[in-house]
Amino acid sequence: MRGLAGRFIRSRSGSFAPILVLAMIPLITAIGFSVDYTRAVQTRSDEQAALDAAILSITTMDTASTKPQRQVVLQDSYKENGGQGTATLNSFDVSANGTATAQASASFPMPTVFMQIARIPTVAIGVSSAVSKTPALVEATFKVTGVSGYWNKTMTLYGTQFGAAQGKPLMTIDYKYGGGTDPKGYGTTTVSSIDSLGVPTVVQTQVCKVGKKAPSGVTLNTDQYGTKYYCVDTMSPGNTAGASINVSQMAGLYLQMDVPSGNPKKLMSNDPNTSNRLYNSTSKDVAPTEIATGQIVDIFGLVPCGSTGYQAWEDGGNAVPAPVSNADFFYNVTGRCDFNKRPNNTRLTQ
């Protein structure tokens, strides 16, 4: 067989061998083009993933960052994620309501191997990506509507800044029982904002007392035990809406209630064992309902943007689940949302 093949190749009387060689050139070229095409498809997929990661990264930069500054971060992140060539930030816009949109593109001239036979040294790889980020909570305003009980207690709003490991107090609501023999128990509540140095400023003081007659302009209430009582609010000048807390630089928020006489003594919104003592509603016409047992509460998601939420805590005197009428700590919280550094509420749109 080998002898036959050898004689066929060496044969000078026929023209099939040259024809075969010429016929194989397109076949080899087609196979080579296929290999380069496959490489191009994979490269494009890698470039797209790198650009998607890069455009998401620039939405978590400081809100005051300029477009050139975001361009630098975009390119650096693109390369760090395996991108080749150049990434360009085409636009980055923040609307009046705080919605941010961005669009970027990237290009890379991929060197070919087999296509160079056809004098095609590179193949242009181009990808694009777009992102939309809805406004997130930047300010929360707390106002006490009613606190009661025989146990003293303090609720604290903690915030963890971007890059920080531990939270710091941003606001406290402190309740002191005023004495008496009524079934529910009433006292004085003080709401204070806390600045970056840890200095508190009183914003609201609410004094609730048992009585059959309320002062002029004050509503007389009746609790579930039939006790008549009224609450007098004193707001600091310029803070009639409540304690407004700037949370724009916070990566995390949680509420903690300390009840020295309670069991448990510490209730936390980010503790799945005690978060079920928090009640929440987004409408004044709907009674707040308990957080389901075992959940970690995202305060950023719990406070509504541009409207008021209604929250309450059961301080530990009753087992849960329990109706909200058993709660001892009621307040309203209003959110203001805008563009900020938090990664939440961001989605790729292209």
Report the pLDDT value the prediction gives residue 344, as an integer from 0 to 100: 76
Question: What gap in Å lies between CA 134 and CA 94, rounded to an integer?
Answer: 10
Residue 122, in any domain of the structure: yes
Question: What gap in Å lies between CA 206 and CA 209, rounded to an integer?
Answer: 10
Q: Are residues 26 and 111 in the same domain?
A: yes
Of the candidates 247, 124, 121, the one whose C-alpha atom is nearest the C-alpha of residue 196 is 247
Q: Are residues 174 and 323 in the same domain?
A: yes
Q: What is the number of structural domains in the chain?
A: 2
The pTM of the full predicted model, rounded to 2 decimals, is 0.80
CB distance 215 to 209 below 8 Å: no
Q: Are residues 72 and 148 in the same domain?
A: no
Residue 346, in any domain of the structure: no
Domain holding 195, by residue range, is 137-338
Report the pLDDT value the prediction gives residue 20, as an integer from 0 to 100: 47
Q: Are residues 161 and 174 in the same domain?
A: yes
Q: Are residues 96 and 208 in the same domain?
A: no
Residue 162, in any domain of the structure: yes
Identity of the amino acid at 124: A
Report the pLDDT value the prediction gives residue 23, as an integer from 0 to 100: 53
Identity of the amino acid at 328: D
Report the pLDDT value the prediction gives residue 18, as an integer from 0 to 100: 58
Report the pLDDT value the prediction gives residue 194, as an integer from 0 to 100: 97
Residue 220, in any domain of the structure: yes
Question: What gap in Å lies between CA 245 and CA 167, rounded to an integer?
Answer: 14
Residue 34, in any domain of the structure: yes
- pLDDT digit string, tens, across residues 285-337: 999 999 999 999 999 989 989 999 999 999 988 888 889 988 999 999 999 99
Q: Identify the segments of the chain with pLDDT beneath 50.
A: 5, 8, 20-22
Residue 347, in any domain of the structure: no
Q: Are residues 32 and 161 in the same domain?
A: no
Domain boundary among 133, 160, 195: 133
Q: Are residues 148 and 30 in the same domain?
A: no
Domain boundary among 133, 168, 200: 133
- pLDDT digit string, tens, across residues 77-112: 999 999 999 999 999 999 999 999 999 999 989 888
Q: Are residues 85 and 175 in the same domain?
A: no
Domain boundary among 106, 133, 160: 133
Q: Are residues 92 and 228 in the same domain?
A: no
Q: Are residues 318 and 171 in the same domain?
A: yes
Residue 55: which H helix or E strand, with range? helix 16-57
Question: What gap in Å lies between CA 142 and CA 129, rounded to an integer?
Answer: 39
Question: What gap in Å lies between CA 126 and CA 142, rounded to an integer?
Answer: 50
Residue 345, in any domain of the structure: no
Q: Are residues 36 and 100 in the same domain?
A: yes
Report the pLDDT value the prediction gives residue 86, as an integer from 0 to 100: 94
Report the pLDDT value the prediction gives residue 287, as an integer from 0 to 100: 92
Residue 19, in any domain of the structure: yes
Report the pLDDT value the prediction gives residue 331, as an integer from 0 to 100: 96
Q: Are residues 109 and 168 in the same domain?
A: no
**321 upstream amide cis, omega within 30 of 0:** yes
